[in-house]
Structures are given as C-alpha cells and as structure tokens.
Amino acid sequence: MILKRDSKFELWRIIAMCFIILSHYSLFGNSPVTNIHTVFYEPFGEIGADIFVMISGYFLCSQVPSIKKTTFRITKIWTRTIFYSWIILILFFIFRHSQLTIMNTITSIFPVLFNEYWFITSFIVLMTIVPILNNLIDNHSRKYLLLIIIGMLFISGVQPLFSAFSPFGAILNVGIMITSYLFAGYVKKYKLKVSNYFLICAFVICLTFQYILRHFINTNVVTYGILPFLCAASIFSIVVRSRSFYNPIINWIASSVFASYLITSHPLVNSILWSKVINTSKINYQILSGPVIILCLLIITVMIDQIYLFLERKYFKYGINHITNKINNILN
C-alpha cells in the first residue's frame, strides 16, 4: 500500500520553493534603485531553503537508514540536476553561444561537483550523512540534542555573518542545512512546547529585524543565517501542528517544484531571466508583481518537469537502479 503524502507539508514545500525563487527576483533583478521594492523578498530565500530542508528532515529522521536508500535518493537528485543542467547548456550552445565560457561550460557539465547550485550540492552532502544525523536524534537526550542544535546554529548561522573563515564556509553552507534537519528531528521527537502566538511573533520580529538591518547596513548578508532560520523554524513548527489533509493537485505540483529551482536558478538562465526576460526596472508595483511572476514561472517549470518525470519512469529509472545496486554492492 502506497502512503499518501500529507498535503499540508507538500503545500509548504511549494511555498518554500516560491520563497527561494522570489528572493532571486529581488536579488538578481536590474532595478537601478535599492529600495523596499527591490529588496523586499531577499530575506525569503534562506527561509524557503530552511523550510524545505526541515520538511525533508521531518520525514527522513524517523526512517531506518540504509546504504541502498541513501544511494537511491542521492542518485535521483543527481540525475535530475544533470538532466536540466545539460539541457540548458545545449540550448545555450545552440542559441546563445557567445555567453558560454570554458568555466561555465565545465560547471554545467559537472553541476554537483562544481557547486553550480549551492543548494543542490549542500543537500546531497546532507543526504550522505542522514544516517549519522538520525543516530544523533535517536540516541541522545533532549537536552543534548538541543545543545547540538544551538551550537550548530552558532557556527553555521552566526559566525559566517562576521567572518568568511568559519568551519562550514561562508553564509551559504551545509551547516545551516544540518541545523535545520536536526531541528526538524527535535520537533518530531520532542515537540516544541510554545504557543502559535509566540511563534507568529517570533517570525514577525525576526523578519522585521532583517529589513531594519538590511536598510542600515545595506548588505544582504543579514538575510542569511540565524534570523531566517528562526523565521523558518517558527513557520515549520506551526505547520507541524496544523491539520493534515490530502489534495492530489497540491501533491502533483509539489513533486515537480524541485525542477522550478533547477531551471530558474541555473547560472546561465539566471543571467538573462531576471535582467532581460523579466526586467524588474520596467515593472510597476514590484512587491505585488513578484508573486504573480513567480507563480507563472512555477506553472511553466512544473509542466516542463512532467516531461522529465515521464522520461525517468520510462528510461532513467533503470540507470538509477543500476547505479544504486552497484554502489550498494561495493559498500556492503
């Protein structure tokens, strides 16, 4: 019997991806003036990324890990990433050859190894250590797990804001993903004993504080790290408590939103999408227009991904299973 995915989580998986793409709308548009209209959605990028990881962590943390499951999950993500990266590279080679360089060509051929998408590379690293993280969640006390989360949040969400030399790298790092995963495991195992009112207030305060810092410091560094994590943690905790439901359309869309990121965030696509195709400097009411534009992009990319999913079911699944079995046999 195939269990139906809880649509409340799938809906927020969609919203989280919309948050990420919305932040790119603010970050990469070519509006000449830096004001509330052009930077309004900047903080939502890492909020969306953290929520996306928390949702994955909430379900993976209770699973019994195995080499085969881990390899299969990573191979599927890797295959999908390569598919879109190669297709985009081929299209640019045919139609926009002048924009290709040796470096972005190599990066597009090896997207995961060359960190073409920071989120994908970090997410795959996260998937490889899921058995370790699950063991940490299962076999340690509430106090110890909370201490680990606080420590991880400091070295991955606070220190990078002040120094480029930190244990997990710069502001975009796998450490904040590990923190989000562990937090999701904590919420699932121990619950979060605070009211929804407190969580809503925490979200509003942390988001407002990001806007204030962004205004006075004039750098988007403040929209990464601890503040967006706290925003995401607040939203996620409320979602966990909300009523479950099932909607096949929501689940169908959620199955393809990963492709929305892969298509719109590819560096080659990114270089023309926001500045030429969607020219934010010529858009009135940018705050209101942003969600409409992202919704349109979501619909288009989800429809495109149906082609990939067909090919995966028809052809790619054999290669994915073969690679999974080979790696499983070598490691066992």
CB burial readout 110-131, b (16+ within 10 A) else e: ebbeeebbbbbbbbbebbebbb
pLDDT at 332: 73
Question: Cα separation of 218 and 206, whole Å?
Answer: 17
Quick one: what percent of the chain has pLDDT higher than 70? 94
Most confident of 64-68, 164-168, 252-256: 252-256
First to last CA, the chain: 29
- Domain assignment of residue 1, yes or no: no
Most confident of 32-41, 129-138, 273-282: 129-138
pLDDT category at 168 given cuts 50, 70, 90 is confident
pLDDT at 164: 65
pLDDT at 285: 61
DSSP state, 140? S
pLDDT at 173: 84
pLDDT category at 97 given cuts 50, 70, 90 is confident
Output the CA–CA distances (angstroms, integers) from residue 284 to 211, 280, 287, in the order listed.
Answer: 21, 8, 9
pLDDT at 277: 84
pLDDT at 25: 87
Q: Residue range 62-74: average pLDDT?
A: 87
- Domain assignment of residue 75, yes or no: yes
- Domain assignment of residue 36, yes or no: yes
Q: Residue range 133-143: average pLDDT?
A: 92
pLDDT at 251: 95
pLDDT category at 8 given cuts 50, 70, 90 is very high
Number of H helices, E strands in the chain: 16, 0
- Domain assignment of residue 254, yes or no: yes
pLDDT at 1: 39
- Domain assignment of residue 177, yes or no: yes
Quick one: what percent of the chain has pLDDT higher than 90? 62
pLDDT at 33: 46
pLDDT category at 96 given cuts 50, 70, 90 is confident
Question: Cα separation of 146 and 191, whole Å?
Answer: 12
**Number of Cβ within a 10 Å radius of residue 182:** 22
Per-residue pLDDT at 142 exceeds 80:
yes
pLDDT at 216: 82
Question: Cα separation of 178 and 250, whole Å?
Answer: 27
The number of domains in the chain is 1
pLDDT at 169: 72
pLDDT, tens digit (0-9, with 9 covering 90-100), for 190-223: 988 899 999 999 999 999 999 988 888 877 788 8
Per-residue pLDDT at 270 exceeds 60:
yes
Rounded to two decimals, the pTM is 0.92
- Domain assignment of residue 2, yes or no: no
pLDDT at 11: 97
Question: Cα separation of 83 and 101, whole Å?
Answer: 20
CB 167 within 8 A of CB 38: no
Per-residue pLDDT at 78 exceeds 80:
yes
Spatial neighbors of 320 by CB under 8 A, at least 6 apart, are 72, 75, 76, 79, 312
Q: Which range, of 115-119, 215-219, 318-322, averages the lowest pLDDT?
A: 215-219
Q: Residue range 66-90: average pLDDT?
A: 93
pLDDT at 34: 52
Label residue 267 exposed, middle or buried (CB < 10 Å: 0-12, 13-18, 19+).
middle
Q: Residue range 91-100: average pLDDT?
A: 86
Structural domain containing residue 203: 7-331
pLDDT at 31: 54
